[in-house]
Structure formats: structure tokens, C-alpha cells
Structure 1
């Protein structure tokens, strides 16, 4: 087993806590910005519903991973404070306070804003009090025929102990009065909703009337709970949901990573609980019973003024065919460099091609791989897969390539969070087709997005490369902003060859000419480039840094940015999510500005730009400036060498976003975000500008 590379911070002094914000609280603040989209009346109402669902989904993952990890370390006393110096116990208290604010705002948005806005469009989520006689009759029939037969209500007594409750499933706690057939006094029962049941039920038009009418499964279970317990009087029925630790831990010494992960996945749904969501109406006695059985604390309980699984409201988005209530549809454009081209290889032999998703189509990547599969002169294909999506054509093409006799190597990251099972299935299928499957490196997630195609041309071998800031996931390419580069540059191709060779052969340290490679050279290179800008500034030469990231938390990179700002470097950071740097601190970070863009698409591209005394460098990357990306992952940052393409990346991903005055949020030194306003200027929305410029979608369509 190869040793981990010895990575030492460039700056050896301990970080000063007063210079850093909390990563966890920063992640929570991002969700307030997403919730603002759900509350924005100018956003189409079904999109607002989707944003509300995204907040709930993000909060689930936050508890499953971040809070679970904090609670684990706090319990065992192994949590060293982060750069902000806040101890785990204090941080957990701050998190609870902010989550309570978020949950309250979430349900207030649901009841006071979204509900009326949906009703105005004849879309109704009905509670029991709102059912008409006809609707109630239909729902009772639905319950008797479709729901009751698959339920297994469980009465609790010494012979029927508290059952295992699966992560994030809907459950009903029922209080019973009376005696059963065996003479036992009824007290308490649980109803677990099987995953096979839809969480939201649509009432047929002939029953519901005009418009769209929906009922939460929880409403249905609570309304007809007495039918599950004949002979008893139901004194109360209360919905609840438990969230569990979902972080998989695999020892580095395992013999077979796939087998070890498969075994871990079997227990993920029943790992240690970290949060209990329960209806507002639930009496404290029931809450205390649940707390005791889940071994939680009162501080782990979050009462919900509405459905505990509000995340499910997003499922109706695809069910309702109302284009007028959604963002205008658009068709991703074919990259101008490929428009009309018969063969991508012919184009790449002459020039590089830049792809800006979702405005430009991901089909170019699929077409490149398809062309490689069909071309008899292509000898080998190498690719990484981190997330690929359920119905990806890429796996089919890789299987076909192997069956055609090409040498195919695929590096699959089995530990891509929440995609582990899908990736294990992909790996098995590829192996059965004869593909050489590599699981990356134990201890380091392979997060780099890269493809290498080796082709024989005129008696010589030529390499064609695709690198990207985002995953090979066709569905996400319509929702996430990412930059992709297709190139036949020989030095990039040689670098990629070395990286794949290292991943598959577990080879020694490698020297790369063009690419920056984590965990080896990327971190050091970023520090050096920041320090170079500081030197330029001190010498009176042009110096500036602009970076677009998903998150920023690496302490020594932040300290290098502070030092550069004090040397006179102007720094603009576009950070979608958590940022632990404090901008605007007097004498420290007055030259640093941080903004977050939250809009129709999830901002996902990472771009680093350095002025470099009038000879700017620009890199696109799979890596954020986070400790995990720079130290514990396989990442690639690739330069945009063609001057025209470099200018395009700068203008579209940096200058364009710095001009946004409608979807931008500005971070202050205390960690608060203020939404930008146009003021006296014309409104400018970066994503809309790109939609119009690249995809031809006019704001009025």
C-alpha cells in the first residue's frame, strides 16, 4: 500500500481564530440564501417550491455528515477546534440556534407564502380539515386498497420492543386506549411508512375538481389511523422522522475496497441517530419516549410546523405540466467550435474546444466518447467517474469500447457520497465487460474529472483529452454550471497519461508540465501564485486575484490571501457556499471582497485567475480551496492556454459574476450576507446573461 504523500502547510504558524469564520455556520448561511429564492415572488412558483425542497435536502445532508461528525468527535473528546477556535460543544449549540431559525423560516415560507401563491395558481396541498366529503371518500378508498395492505403497525410492549427506524423515513407514533384480543392494555404503537409508498398523493381531477390537488401521506396515515387498530381508541397520532449518521468509514488496510464499502452500506440506514424531527402537536411524553429510544438529547429535537418530510414537495415539480410556472425552457447550444463539424477529432487536431455547461450541451462529451468507440484508430480510453447519473450513456459506451477490443481503464470513486451503491454497480458492469476498473487510492478520493483518448494517426500516437470542473453526469449538466475543455495539446495529454498511470499502477511521484495535481502540487502552486501577486504589488506592478469556488476554508490559503491583500493585491472571491475568510477587516482584508451567487443553476465551476504582471494565468479545476480538496483528494487544475478561450472563461465566469447585482449576496466580516441591489444601475443577472448569450434564451420567452 503506497504511503500518503507528506503534505506540509506552507505557513507553519497556528491560525489566529479571530481571522476566521465557522465553516459549519457558513454552510447553514448558504441555505438561507437558497430559501430566499423560495421566498422571491419574481421566481416562478413551482421553482420556488423546488428551492424549498432543496433547502430541506441540504439540511438533511448537513446533519447526516457535518453534525454527525461533530457529535462523534464531541462525544469522544477528539474534536480539535477549527481555525475559528470554537470548540465542538459550543459550535453544536450555535448550529442548533441557527437551524431553529432556518426551520422556522422554512415552514413560515411554506404556510404564509408558498401555500397562498400555489393556491392562486389552483395548486393545493390539502390538510384533513380541507377535504371535501367526496375527496375524503376517495382518500379512504385509496388508503384501504393501496396503503393499508402494505403497512405493518407495531404495538409496543415487552414482546414487541421499539423497532429499528430507517434513516429519513416517515413514521407515525400512535397513542392507543383499550384492550387487545389477548387482554393487553393498549398504550403505544408505531406505523412505519414503507419506502414503496408515495409520500405525496395526487387526487384525481374527477374527484379533486379543477386544478391540482395533493395530500401528504402523513396526513393520510393520521386521518385513517383508527383503521389500523380496530378495537382501540386512538388518542393521538404524531408524525416523526429520524436522521442518522451517513458518513461511511473504511479502514485504509482493507483488502477489497468494494467489498468493504458494500458491507458498510448495509448498515448506513441504521447508523447512530443525530436528529429527530417531529410534529408541533406531539406531546412531550411522546417526544421523551422517542428521545430515549434513539439515545438522543432534547437539543437534537426539531419541531416542525407542518410535514416532517417537507423535502417531498419537490416531487410535484415534474408532475405538474405548467410551463408558465417554471423557468423558461432552453436548449443547450452546440459549442460554436463544433457546430457543423463531422468529426470532433478533426476539430481538436486544429484547436481547443471550450464547453460552458449548462448553456452549452454536454452532448459534445458523449459524442467525443462515441466517436472514440467507433473509430478503429482509437486504441485506448481512460476516464474517471465520480458521479455519473442513473441513465448515463457513458457506461454503455465504455462497455462497447471494451467489447470492440479497445483498452479501457475507468477510475471509479466508490466513496462519492450517496452515490456509492450506483458506483459499485457501474464498476461491476464494467468489469464484466472487460474494462480495467480502478477504485482510486485508499485514503484519497479521486475527485478529478478527466478523460484521455489514445489514437493512432499517420503512424504515431496522439492523445485527446477532456477535463472538467464537474462530473460526467448528464442530468447535472443541465442544472450545474461547469467548464469543460477538449484539447489535443500534447503536454496536457502527456500529463493526463502520467496521472492515470499513477492511479492505476500506484506509481511514484510524477512531474507534470501543464496540470496542477492534488495532493502533490496544487496546494503549493496556489500559495506560490498568491505570493507572486503580493510581490508584484509590492513592486508596483499589476496584481490582482479573482477566484470562483464552491467553498473556501483552507486556513493557510486564507492567510496567504490576507498577506497579499495587505501587500496591495485586490482580491475578488466568488464563493457559492461556506467561506471562512473574513473580508473587510481593517488593515487585514480591506482589499478582499466575497460574493455568493444563488440562482436558477447551481454554481459549480471552479476558476482561478492571477493577473501576473500583465501576463494573466487562468486555471479551471475540480478543486475548491478547501483542506480536503488540497490535501486528501486526487484533483486536477488545468490551464486555459488559448488566449481567446482564456478571455472567454474570464469574461463569462468571473467578470460576468462580479457584475451581477440581482442574484449576488455580499459577505461582511461578521459572516452576514446582504443581497446586492441594482440601485441606480440597470439590473444585471449573470446567469440570464449567459442564457441569452450562449443559448439564445431571451428573458421574455
Structure 2
């Protein structure tokens, strides 16, 4: 049996028993889904923040739309399934699925209405003043009308498939999140039919925004036309001899969570089969243009077996997530920057020489990801390199990482890739990446049954005299070169012997079988990480109870694990000062007298997506600092393979404490503080303070 399966029972005994009721009061906890909604609302608020450049504000609005799509596809869909199957159990907060769905519906309807108000009343008028205009049909000039007509006939009409609704043409099965139109018709067709209704799906191959040529824009501005406007203007052309009396866009969101048979003989083939089902899962939300007649809205609700609570009437495009544009107006975006290359890498002849001089800490996106690329590139062609092992969670299809691994395999290196096929919404690209590596001769492993491999590890085994030397990269983020420019993450490059041995043992766990490895430096899930976090928190608690200094600062994406929250409550009661920097979900309630008055929770929402996971404990003056791939969630700690690695070099430790933690506690412009009632309050400069933005300060300090 694999180590990750073999030790599961033992691991369960490490979980603290919280059944004694000491912290069982549901008022002590916030709901996970509602907390995630609060994060999405903070993203939405960025669209109104005039401190962001105008196009970046539009991007925040579209990110909110994309986030909400996933929220409905996964979280709302899961709640509906629990309700239908009567399997929903209340979480620590005590809320049942039906109660949650009621609250979610009220919050999301209000949020969507605000989203379109920001778009129509704020962003589009402001963009128009800057020469970026999204033209409505009533504003088209004669020349633009003719151009649209020609474009429709040549580019759109040939790929549209109108579907009349009659006994031989039942309501079509529409793809998840696809743009569609419901069209009421007058008259009879060539066969004498008078169906009264038709559906027109918009193929995904068509762009949702089309730029009007400069010669007919008249003002010389960047003018765009929505695909929906073009179809609306010429929808009658799709039904010769009949008249379309209306054309109303709509979109249905479906359950996109997948259930894959973990025991399947071929996980890749099983996953491929499930990818199609994601497009046609159960319906969970219907978005319809707000000018659509009520009887047609109700007709659509009936077809999708949804209720009015699942209906969202929108004043604008129903598919905002696809409204990203490329507008060449640099001053409407953040100024570009070039990530710095670590000085030791610049000065060294090879990346191996650089790492030989000492641990290298990389802070993305401020510092370049290139050293990691260099490590793979040099390893692929270095005759001294014997083997390369790497975990791949999200890499993208066009990946330098994959290119270098392929080259290494073709050059005769022993290349092993742990490819996590179940990385949500990246399954297809990961299957393709695995195929490429296999064809190049690499050993490809899909991880461990029942556990996602979420750890970020790279190991290069190289000859060193008569022996071998291990070069390691460990990270908090994915091996995806695009996200390294958009997400904040830490990476550690080291050739320290025990770290290399630990990483080697974890790879052995993932590819082979046997007992859980005993590691010297790293902590890893699902074995030692959760007990270690509890132990570190409890040590601070004991220190505070003894009247000694005690301090915890931690930064990660989400906090949901109940035993950790209870340990933090005990620490707070003992007097430990605790600061948590949590981007997204937080189920802990800070600031409750007698329980959590010493706990402060803040969220940073800014130009870059905060993604670093850092754990700091005073630990009697030892100042433990760990970076990790894991959030403090049940799935990370019990159902995934995760790594947590120490920062041992005193200079690097001090750097992380300042640039990874303390600087965020000083942010008074992009920070939001969690209140005991579950709402977040924007932090503002006090008493004449100057605005301080942590990300901008890091750009000024580290960026190029």
C-alpha cells in the first residue's frame, strides 16, 4: 500500500478531539461559503477604487464575474446537491444548506446589481471619455451599420445554428456558461411551421467583442461592438420569411464539479470522459437580459428546472468574464515592471554555482522566476545531471517547464513528473502535458489515489566528485510562468543536504510504496503538517501562560480547519498576539471578548493576487519561519500532498519576516480587516498617516 494510504489511519489519531464542546458554539465560526462571497465582494469593490488605473478597474470587475461563475459551478452546485440528496450536515457555524442558499441568493443578487451599475454608470462612461467606447446599436453611424452588416454576413452568419422549438426540435441541451439568445418569431417558415420561438447559440469560436476599424470609428477612438449586438441587429436574417419580434441573451451556469473514479485503471482516460460531463451538469443559475419579457424568463426557468431565486436579470452582457480586451492605452493600465534577477544568479556562471554559494530566496512577482527556468534548462543539458523529478499542478499548455523536461528526457536524463490531473479547470492542459512528457520518454505518475498532489517541488540529482548532490526548488506557488508574474509567491533554491534528502523521500512516497517517510526538515501533509501546526500554536500558548513573549503571524489563502481555529482561540485566551493575513476564506471570528480579542485578521486585495503561505512563530526566540504550499484547510492538511519548508538562513528569515509579513500589517490602503460579524472593513490612514501600499512598496524595493 502507498505511504499516503498506509498511514491514513495513524494520521487521524493526530487530529485533536474537539468533541468536548469547549468551542462548539456555532457563533464562534463564520460560514465558509459566505466568507468566500465576502472575498468576491472585496474584489468587486476594486472596480470602484479610483486609485487603480481605469482598465485595471474593468479587469477587477471581470475577475469578479469569473469568480462568481466558479462560485456557482462549485459551491452553489454542491449545496444544491446536498439539499436534493438530504446529505447536508451543518458545519461549525450551524447553517444548513437551505439556509445558506437563501443567504447566498440575497447577497449575490445585490452584488450582481451593483456590478452592472458600476459597469454602466461608472466604468463605461469613464472609458468613453478616454477614447475607449463600447458602442450600442442605437449609436452606430451609417458607415458602422454597413460594416456590421458585412461582418455579420461574412464572419458570424456562417457559423450560427438557429434552433426552432417544435415537437421535432425540443429545447436544446446548452453548454455550461455559453451565450445564447431566445427569439420570439412571427410568420411561417418554408415548411409551413409557426413555432413562435427559437434558440440561437453563439459559438465559442466567435469573439464576444469586435473592434471597429479605425477608418469608420470617426473619432479615432478604440471602438468595440458586442457580438450580442451584432446578432440582435440581424437575427431576422436567420429566419427567412419570418420576423423576429425580439432577441434576448441568456446564459445558464451548470454544476462543473467532477466525480472521478479514483480506482479507474486509467485515470487520464476516466478524467477525459468526465470533462465532457462538466459542460452539461445540472443547472444552478440562469442569467437573462433584463429587457426579456417575463413570460420568456419563466419559460427558460421551466426548461432548466430552476426557481426565481436562481434567476439573475442583468443590464448588459450576460458573459462579462469574456469581455477582456486588448486596448493600447498604457496610462489606463499599471505601469509595466521588470522582475529583478537575484544578484548571485547574475554573477554566477551556472545556476548550480549560484546555489552552491547558499540558499536563494525568490519573491515573485517582484523577483524573476527565471532562476527556476534556468535550473531546468541547465539540468536538461548538463552531462553531470543524472535525474530530474518535479511535481506539476498547474503549468499551462505552452510551458517552458514542459519544454525543458522534454529535452532532458530526450537527452537521456531520468525524468520523473508527478502530474496532478485533477487540478480543477486545468485537467485538460495537464492531460496534454502528461502526454507530451510520456512521448519524450519521461516517467509520468498521476499522484496517489484519494490525494491531490499540491506540493511544489523540483529535485535535480547531479554528480559531485565521487558522490551526488541534490539541488532543490520548493515553492508556495505553481510552476506556471504566467502566474509567477501575477501572483505573490516565495520559492527557495537550496542544495542543503537534509532538505535534498527530505524532498527525495517525498518523491519516493509519491512514486513508490511503503511507510510514511521520516523527514528531518520538511513537514508534509497528510502526515506531519497538521500536528506540527497545532504543536507550534500550543507552544506559543504555553509560553504566554508562563508570562513569556509569544507571537504568531501567518499568511495564507484560507482558514477553515476547526482544530487549528480552536488552538488559535486557546492561544488568544492565553494572551498570544496573533495576526492572520488571509486573502480569502476565514471561518474564525476575531475580536470576540474572552475568546479571540487577541486575534486580528486582515485581507490584502491589490494589483497582484496574494498567494504566499508563510507561518511564523516566536517559539521562545527561535523565530520559526516556514513557507508552504498549504492553506489551513481540511483538504490541504488531510486530503492533499503538501510541503512546508523552513527558512533557516538568518538573513532570508529576516527578509521574509519584513517583506512577507510585517509590511502587510502596515498596509493602510489595500487592507481590509475582518470584523466579528463576518464583514470586512476597509483600512484607512489614520491621524494624518500617509497612504502605504505593501505591494507598491515591494515593487519599489524589489522590482525593476
TMscore range, shorter length: over 0.9
Q: Which residue number corresponds to residue 281 of structure 1?
A: 291
Task: State the secondary structure of the residue aligned to 2:287.
Answer: strand
| 1:681 and 2:693 aligned | no
Find the aligned partners of 2:400 and 2:191 in 1 and give their Cα distance. 58
Match of 2:230 among 215, 220, 228: 220
Does the CA contact (< 8 Å) of 1:242 and 1:275 recur in 2?
Answer: yes
Find the aligned partners of 1:503 and 1:440 in 2 and give their Cα distance. 6
| 1:304 and 2:343 aligned | no
Find the aligned partners of 1:674 and 1:12 in 2 and give their Cα distance. 31
Q: Deviations over 1:100-121 (max 9, x none)?
A: 1110110010011101110110
Match of 2:632 among 609, 616, 625: 625
Matched ranges for 1:295-334 at <5 A: 295-314=305-324, 316=325, 319-334=326-341
Does the CA contact (< 8 Å) of 2:366 and 2:699 recur in 1?
Answer: yes
Find the aligned partners of 1:176 and 1:560 in 2 and give their Cα distance. 64
Does the CA contact (< 8 Å) of 1:609 and 1:618 recur in 2?
Answer: yes
Q: Which residue number corresponds to residue 693 of structure 1?
A: 701
Does the CA contact (< 8 Å) of 1:545 and 1:571 recur in 2?
Answer: yes
Task: State the secondary structure of the residue aligned to 1:337.
Answer: helix
Matched ranges for 1:123-162 at <5 A: 123-162=132-171
Find the aligned partners of 1:303 and 1:441 in 2 and give their Cα distance. 44
Q: Which residue number corresponds to residue 16 of structure 2?
A: 10
Deviation at 1:254, TM superposition (A): 1.4
Deviation at 1:574, TM superposition (A): 0.3
Q: Which residue number corresponds to residue 606 of structure 1?
A: 613
Q: Which residue number corresponds to residue 489 of structure 1?
A: 496
Find the aligned partners of 2:514 and 2:295 in 1 and give their Cα distance. 60
Q: Which residue number corresponds to residue 264 of structure 2?
A: 254
Matched ranges for 1:74-85 at <5 A: 74-85=83-94
Deviation at 1:135, TM superposition (A): 1.1
Deviation at 1:253, TM superposition (A): 2.1
Q: Which residue number corresponds to residue 642 of structure 2?
A: 635
Find the aligned partners of 1:71 and 1:11 in 2 and give their Cα distance. 30
Does the CA contact (< 8 Å) of 1:170 and 1:192 recur in 2?
Answer: yes
Does the CA contact (< 8 Å) of 2:474 and 2:492 recur in 1?
Answer: yes
| 1:467 and 2:474 aligned | yes
Task: State the secondary structure of the residue aligned to 2:343.
Answer: coil
Deviation at 1:339, TM superposition (A): 2.4
Q: Deviations over 1:426-470 (max 9, x none)?
A: 111111111000000111110000001111101111111000000
Find the aligned partners of 1:635 and 1:48 in 2 and give their Cα distance. 34
Find the aligned partners of 1:205 and 1:312 in 2 and give their Cα distance. 23
Q: Which residue number corresponds to residue 660 of structure 2?
A: 653
Deviation at 1:266, TM superposition (A): 2.1
| 1:544 and 2:544 aligned | no
Does the CA contact (< 8 Å) of 1:666 and 1:675 recur in 2?
Answer: yes
Task: State the secondary structure of the residue aligned to 2:531.
Answer: helix
Find the aligned partners of 1:165 and 1:296 in 2 and give their Cα distance. 15
Does the CA contact (< 8 Å) of 2:165 and 2:199 recur in 1?
Answer: yes
Q: Which residue number corresponds to residue 97 of structure 2?
A: 88
Does the CA contact (< 8 Å) of 1:186 and 1:232 recur in 2?
Answer: no
Find the aligned partners of 1:436 and 1:535 in 2 and give their Cα distance. 48
Does the CA contact (< 8 Å) of 2:397 and 2:430 recur in 1?
Answer: no
Find the aligned partners of 1:265 and 1:35 in 2 and give their Cα distance. 30
Find the aligned partners of 1:261 and 1:534 in 2 and give their Cα distance. 46
Q: Deviations over 1:25-57 (max 9, x none)?
A: 111111111112111112111111111110000
Match of 2:122 among 99, 105, 113: 113
Does the CA contact (< 8 Å) of 2:47 and 2:58 recur in 1?
Answer: yes
Matched ranges for 1:407-556 at <5 A: 407-556=414-563
Matched ranges for 1:175-190 at <5 A: 175-190=184-199
Q: Deviations over 1:326-381 (max 9, x none)?
A: 10100000013322211111121220000000000011100011111121111010
- Structure 1 runs of 4+ off > 4 angstroms? none
Find the aligned partners of 1:183 and 1:200 in 2 and give their Cα distance. 36
Task: State the secondary structure of the residue aligned to 1:547.
Answer: strand
Q: Which residue number corresponds to residue 586 of structure 1?
A: 593
Q: Which residue number corresponds to residue 401 of structure 1?
A: 408
Find the aligned partners of 2:201 and 2:210 in 1 and give their Cα distance. 17
Worse overlay, 7-16 or 29-38:
7-16
Find the aligned partners of 1:321 and 1:90 in 2 and give their Cα distance. 47
Which runs of 5 or more residues in structure 1 are unaligned? 697-701
| 1:245 and 2:235 aligned | no
TM-score normalized with structure 2 length: 0.97
Match of 2:275 among 265, 268, 273: 265
TM-score normalized with structure 1 length: 0.98
Task: State the secondary structure of the residue aligned to 2:345.
Answer: coil
Match of 1:392 among 399, 408, 416: 399
Match of 1:236 among 235, 246, 253: 246
Q: Which residue number corresponds to residue 699 of structure 1?
A: none
Deviation at 1:286, TM superposition (A): 1.2
Task: State the secondary structure of the residue aligned to 2:460.
Answer: strand
Deviation at 1:137, TM superposition (A): 1.3
Find the aligned partners of 1:92 and 1:574 in 2 and give their Cα distance. 28
Q: Which residue number corresponds to residue 345 of structure 1?
A: 352
Does the CA contact (< 8 Å) of 1:49 and 1:313 recur in 2?
Answer: no
Deviation at 1:11, TM superposition (A): 3.0
Find the aligned partners of 2:562 and 2:48 in 1 and give their Cα distance. 34
RMSD: 1.1
Match of 1:290 among 275, 279, 300: 300
Which runs of 5 or more residues in structure 2 are unaligned? none
Does the CA contact (< 8 Å) of 2:397 and 2:432 recur in 1?
Answer: no
Task: State the secondary structure of the residue aligned to 2:347.
Answer: coil
Q: Deviations over 1:628-679 (max 9, x none)?
A: 1111100001000101001101100100100000000011000111111112
Match of 1:62 among 42, 67, 71: 71
Deviation at 1:66, TM superposition (A): 0.8
Q: Report how many residues are paired.
A: 693
Worse overlay, 263-272 or 624-633:
263-272
Find the aligned partners of 1:530 and 1:130 in 2 and give their Cα distance. 63
Does the CA contact (< 8 Å) of 2:617 and 2:623 recur in 1?
Answer: yes
| 1:103 and 2:112 aligned | yes
Deviation at 1:310, TM superposition (A): 1.4
Q: Deviations over 1:253-293 (max 9, x none)?
A: 21111111011112211111111111101122111221222
Worse overlay, 337-346 or 489-498:
337-346
Task: State the secondary structure of the residue aligned to 2:346.
Answer: coil
Q: Deviations over 1:100-148 (max 9, x none)?
A: 1110110010011101110110100111122122111111111111101
Task: State the secondary structure of the residue aligned to 1:236.
Answer: coil
Q: Which residue number corresponds to residue 49 of structure 1?
A: 58
